Amino acid sequence: MFTFSPEVAAFLTFVLTNGVKAIFALFGKEVQGFGSAVVAAFVGAILFFSAGVIGGLDPSVQAVVVKVLDLLLIVVGSFGVHYSIKSAALTFANGN
């Protein structure tokens, strides 16, 4: 059965949540406070659900689905890493 370790799931949730926040920021919508918690819960639920679905697929199909999800994780995750670094840089630049 396909599962994420807790550490990997936590890291993916963090990076993907920031990625979703960055994508919303591209459209002029700021996600903060409670909205950020909702996005994190939603991302965590999707990760949990997708691991179960992938585990139930035929192994030949599983490889293709995992590669497509890898691509999606890389794209959204790269937005998340950029958003995290940019936020940290702004925080340090302001002396907070």
Which pLDDT score is estimated for 41?
Answer: 93
- Find, among 71, 91, 84, the residue nearest to 25 by Cα: 84
Q: How confident is the model at residue 96 (pLDDT cuts 50, 70, 90)?
A: low
Q: What is the pLDDT at residue 1? A: 58
Q: What is the mean pLDDT of the chain?
A: 86
pLDDT score, position 6? 82
Handedness of CA 33, 45, 76, 28 (dihedral sign): negative
Q: How far is Cα 23 from Cα 73, in angstroms, rounded to an integer?
A: 13
Cα–Cα distances in angstroms (integers) from residue 63 to residues 49, 58, 70, in the given order: 17, 9, 10
User: Do 69 and 2 form a contact (C-beta atoms < 8 A)?
Assistant: no
pLDDT digits (tens, 9 = 90+) for 13-52: 898 899 899 899 889 998 888 988 999 999 989 888 888 8
